[in-house]
Structure 1
Amino acid sequence: MVRPKIFMFIATRILGGPGKGLVQFFESGGLDIADVEVGVDSQDGNEETEFHTSIKQTGVHVETFLQKHVYDPTLIYKSYRYVKENGFNILESNEYKSHVVCFFLKLFTGLPWVAYAHGWTTENAKVRFYHSLDKLLLPHADTVVAVSKSVRERLAPKAAERAVVIYNAIEPVDENAVETSNVREQFGVKADETLLTVVGRLSPEKGHKDFIDALPMILERHPKVRAMLVGDGPDREKLEQQVAAAGLEDVVIFTGYQGSMPPFYAATDLLVMPSLSEGLPYVALEGMSYGLPMVTTDVGGIPELVKDGETGYLTPSEQPEAFAQAINRMLDDPEAMKRMGEAGREITLNHFTPQVRVSQLEALYNKLLAPGR
């Protein structure tokens, strides 16, 4: 059996969902089943980005390909030369730019290509164009890894025929090992206040606007509620204006970007996700691993993870009143909150471990390298 030697290209500077998946793969046995190097692009040569640093800490080599600008076509040639000189036998991509790179690398080398489909948003015209390009390229991959059944269903027919569903995973956490009081004290959340937390980029597809619209209906019934929005993004100023217009400045907390999430999950009473679109969000997996009950919209792959009435409540997206009703229903019954949180934790422990994901990827890589494939 030929050992996989994988060139994983990804265009990112932050440790978002795809980046977390790579780090987790390396730390959970992935390096036992394959030799791996990671390629990234850069316009400034900075090798101290959050993503770069996190990958290097796993012991995996990161090759940086310099570009004069974001659309510099020499990236294709530089990465092609690197792949040829280093004897890789599998290509792997994680988002639209890496899909473009690996499309040409496959064209020039004939190597099998694994492309990940994490889901799509409609954030703005530029992003919509990138995702349209993404969908055109994915049918040319040898295998598309969809992170949920709902993502697979949205693929073009040719890509869907080549798709396998491999869910994101989460490392089990010891919830008792995390100090919680520092986060509440840092942001002025009192011990008798119930903390509702939204984690994610402050951009339209995450639905923060709908959550803020729902807050007055929640406060009317549960006045000791605080709302924490963890993350940053293009909609921050607009959301801050919405909060001010609603007179909710003393209720809503904007934390900005946070590199270490465990203290925030451990400080949370209820995790809420008002998203308009999702693939299979790491936030949901992370929250469930901490035993947090959830109220979330029923978009994307979320219903494959959150079971309505068992680990949380699902509501339609873009309906603040329904979202408020679900949160009120949850807060009305503390025993149900505890029960649902525990049930969610059990699901992550039994079905979404990194070891399950690594074994599925090992089978995929071996199949791609099988003689006579």
Structure 2
Amino acid sequence: CAAPAMSKAAAVGTAAAIAAAAAVGVYLSRKTLTLISSYAKAAEFPPVPAFEDRSLANHEKLIMTGTLLICTQNLAVSGANQVVLNLVDGGIWTGSIVVLSPTVGPFAKEFADLGAAVCIGELTDLMERVRDIRFAICNTIMTAHLVNSLTEMGIPTAWVLHEWWPEDMMVEELEKRNDKNTTPEVVKKALATCARVVCVCAAQRELYGPKNGVVTFVGVPEPTAHWKVGAVPAGQRPITLLTLGIVCPRKNQHWAVQVFKKFAGNRKDVRLIIVGARYQRQYEIEYVEKVKAEADGDPRIEIHDVTSDVDQFYRVADVLLFTSLNEVTPMVIAESMMRAIPVVTTNIAGIPEMLEHGKHGYVLPPEEEPFANALKELCVPGADGQRKRLQMGLTAKKHADATFTNRTMVTEYRLGLLKMSPPIILLDMDGVVVDWDKGFMRSWGNTSSVDRSKDYAMQKCVPAEFVKTAEALFHTQGFFAGLPPRDGAVKAVHEMVAKGYQVFFCTAPVLTSAFCPSEKYEWIIKHFGQAWASRVVMTTDKTTVRGDVLIDDKPKISGSQRPAWQQILFTAPYNTSVNDKPRLDHWKDWEQAVLTAVRGEFVAPGRESRVELAPEKVTKEVVATLPDFSHLLPPDYRADYLGWRAGKAQGAKGEAWNAAAKYAALQDASLLQEADDFTEVTVFRSGYANWRRGGVSGAKSIMIRQAADAQSRMS
């Protein structure tokens, strides 16, 4: 009779089984072929539950194989690029990271500084060069075409949406950009097929309606421990409202001035500070003038330019006044709450999800009366008002610390990657899942003594005169098919799958046995079911198989390549002397063994990290023991050098270092001017940029040449 039509998965499994057997020069028996190919529908491997292990998602050093691809719209200075830069900086992936962009831009250097490879070009070219991409992150709606291409290639992809474009606006925005790659139809296809569409708020997810949408708030850098040092005490200055963001129509600062005047009346103890004036685009210049005209010389209202030092304004702020009419989840709100500054904000887009009205601040319709009333409640003069602002601010800080940190964001994204491509566990059969020794001894009986500690190969563990007898035993028909499972193995394998791991059997056949390959398949089908036949990888070189963990009892596995996996050694008498690998003694402990390996927590004896601690302070006594090179220096450097030897903070080196730092600061200020909104870009802020460049020992060096180029362009 005709065989039933096979599903794609079953066909692949059958082909793999036949190919594996053919590769070692033997053939599957008719019985085994029947077992694998019959009932084809039942042979399709069932869907695996979603991977949900947060103990891995919370870990910053996962030892897993494969490359993470990040596709950007461009490498310009933008809040969207800052988000993915924060993911890389936060250690979302310990393995290789490649950033793809169609054009070069300032953020190329920032990604490269973090160790990512930056590729300028097309996806098709990159895919030919990088062959081990495990998953991808596409950033902004303008990468929809890349989402579709990666999905068609079978690469799990997360697509991050930052925009708030209703359908009519989307058509308008895409036409404005004249990008032939991204059309409304392309976007709709990506929304329907992408494995994971990351929205920054639930309202945005509702707006776009992706099939596989999730919500992850954008994380922001936590303030430094000393961000408020030098602040004027609240009682010695006016109650200060801060409006932070590029001064432009959508930010609505002229209305903030109107609200302030209505609330403040004739009060002299309040002020409004507006930060973000920029004079590059004509519409921005015109709007700054409009805001100044609205202020009309009121001495209580200050308007400041774009700055790389936002903390100087946060330090004196009592309330954040946020009046924008077009946002999604603005970073400035999260930053303010992290600094215990209560917020009065419009209730647009995702803002109502960021804080609770009346608890962390006020979330209001953009109407003058509600805003003015909220400010009156928060800005009551004296101790009562200060107490209310402090209490609300501290409540907001607790909420923000639990919701908006970069660490929280990175953890959610890492969990998303693990859900799309969970850890791959490869399982050896003989001696690991299969109790090979027990089956052998059951047939061997009292034939001779067996010292299993001698060698991995059984025939080397019996007296010399019985070697041929032992080899003949495991070459007999039915030997491999009749072996018993190891205690707890079958249950453990099912537990792995239930937890969302990708599980495959990776086994080496006995090349001289006509029965071994086919009987291994029979064994798997007997103990695990028909569908598992497609999960068997049979090879004589396990180093060619990609995976994250291989559980194997062989003391030393060699082959043609450096394996992508790390081995967990399943304990046996013949491998007890091995101490450079993590171990698994019993199947009941499989999960802890896997987590220890994937988290990189195993340290072989003698390989503990040895960190030589430098002296806490370089004293003149320490310097005095060093050679004196003052006679080799130019006269104008000699005084500083001798001063350093005498115990001063810096010598001649300090002049060049300070000059380089000034150039770098100029470069950062220049780049920050390019951002759509400087409040959404943190990498060029004074404190953060200084840390990235070496403000803390061991960080990266200053790019003096690029800084000088930036200065020459500005002059």
* Smaller-chain TM-score bracket: 0.7 to 0.9
In 2 relative to 1, CA 89–331 (structure 1 residues): closer, same or farther, beyond 3 Å? same
**Structure 2 residue 162 is the aligned partner of structure 1 residue 118:** yes
- Shift of residue 248, structure 1, vs aligned partner: 4.2
Match of 1:68 in 2: none
Render the CA deviation track for 1:8-50: whole Å, top value 9, x for unaligned: 1223455433223223222223133x532222332xx5x5x2x
Contact 2:141/2:162, CA 8 A, preserved across alignment: no
- Show the 5 A alignment for 1:189-268: 192-220=237-265, 222-223=267-268, 224-230=270-276, 232=278, 234-248=283-297, 250-268=299-317
Partner of 2:86: 24
| Alignment partners' CA distance in 1, 2:336 and 2:183 | 31
Aligned residues: 342
- For residues 421 and 170 of structure 2, the distance between their equivalents in structure 1, rounded to whole angstroms, comes to 39
CA contact (8 A) 2:273 2:304 kept: no
Aligned to 2:114: 58
1:323 to 364, 371, 392: 371
Task: Identify if the C-alpha distance between structure 1 residues 5 and 38 changes in structure 2 by more than 3 Å, giving closer, same or farther.
Answer: same
| Aligned partner of 1:147 among 192, 200, 203 | 200
- Whole-Å Cα distance in 2 between the matches of residues 193 and 12 of structure 1? 43
Q: CA deviation at 1:164?
A: 1.0
What letter is aligned with 2:195? D
**Secondary structure in 1 matching 2:102:** strand
Q: After the TM superposition, which of the residue ranges 129-138 and 17-26 deviates more from structure 2?
A: 129-138
Verify the 8 A CA contact 2:150 2:156 in the aligned structure 1.
no
Query: For residues 271 and 92 of structure 1, what CA distance do their matches in structure 2 show?
Result: 33
Q: 1:202 to 1:126 in 2, by over 3 A?
A: farther
Q: In the alignment, which residue of structure 2 is the partner of 1:38? A: 99
**Does the CA contact (< 8 Å) of 2:253 and 2:291 recur in 1?**
no
In structure 2, do the counterparts of structure 1 residues 221 and 251 end up closer, same or farther at CA, with 3 Å as the change threshold? closer
TM norm structure 2 = 0.44
Secondary structure of 1:310 counterpart: coil
Q: Which residue in 2 is equivalent to 1:358? A: 410
Match of 1:339 among 358, 381, 391: 391
Specify the code of the residue in structure 1 equivalent to 2:218: N
Q: Secondary structure at the match of 1:201?
A: coil
The answer to whether the 8 Å contact 2:148/2:193 transfers is yes
Matched, 1:286 2:335: yes
Contact 2:136 2:157 in 1 (8 A): yes
Shift of 1:346: 1.0
Distance in 1, Cα, partners of 2:206 & 2:351? 14
Which residue of structure 1 aligns with residue 584 of structure 2?
none
Correspondences of 1:133-144 after superposition (within 5 Å): 133=184, 135-136=187-188, 137-144=190-197
1:303–1:221 Cα change, 3 Å: farther
Closer, same or farther: CA 274–80 of 1 in aligned 2, 3 Å: same
8 Å CA contact 2:135–2:155 kept in 1: the answer is yes
Q: CA deviation at 1:253?
A: 3.6
Opposite residue 164 of structure 1, the aligned amino acid is V
CA distance in 1: counterparts of 2:155 and 2:316, whole angstroms:
47
Counterparts of 2:97 and 2:218, CA distance in 1 = 19
| Cα pair 2:84 2:139 within 8 Å, conserved | no
Residues 295-320 of structure 1 show CA distances to partners (whole Å, capped at 9, x for unaligned) of 11112222222211111111113x13
Q: Distance in 2 between matches of 1:41 and 1:345?
A: 39
The amino acid across from 1:168 in the alignment is V
1:163 equivalent in alignment to 2:224: no
Letter matched to residue 340 of structure 1: M
In 2, the alpha carbon distance for the partners of 1:227 and 1:248 equals: 13
Match in the other structure for 2:562: none
Closer, same or farther: CA 249–41 of 1 in aligned 2, 3 Å = farther
Normalized per residue, the structure richer in strand is: 1
Q: In structure 2, list runs of 5 or more residues that go unmatched.
A: 1-62, 423-501, 504-715
Contact 1:222 1:328 in 2 (8 A): no
Gaps of 5+ in 1: 66-77, 185-189
Aligned counterpart for 1:92 among listed residues 114, 126, 137: 137
Partner of 1:103: 148
1 CA distance for matches of 2:124 and 2:263? 55
> Matched residues in 2 for 1:248 and 1:126: separation?
39
Decide whether aligned partners of structure 1 residues 265 and 140 sit closer, same or farther in structure 2, where only a CA change above 3 A counts. Answer: farther
Shift of 1:128: 6.8
Stretch moving more, 319-328 or 9-18 = 9-18
Q: Aligned partner of 1:60: which letter? A: A
The one-character-per-residue Cα deviations of 1:228-277 (angstroms, maximum 9, x if unpaired) are: 13264743422422431551464444433333433332232211211223
Native 8 Å contact 1:196 1:268 kept in 2? yes
Cα offset for 1:162?
0.5
Question: 1:152-171: per-residue Cα shift (whole Å, max 9, x none)?
Answer: 11113xx1x30011122234
Cα deviation, 1:33-89, whole Å, max 9, x if unaligned, reads x532222332xx5x5x2x333323322222234xxxxxxxxxxxx232113311223
Residues 193, 225 of structure 1: 8 Å contact kept: yes
Output the CA distance in 1 between the equivalents of 2:309 and 2:81: 15
Give the TM-score normalised by the residue count of structure 1.
0.79
Aligned to 1:303: 352
Secondary structure of the structure 2 residue equivalent to 1:279: coil
Runs of 4+ aligned residues of structure 1 deviating over 6 Å after TM superposition are 122-125
Contact persistence 2:199–2:214 (CA under 8 A): yes
Aligned-partner Cα distance in 1 for 2:360–2:228: 22
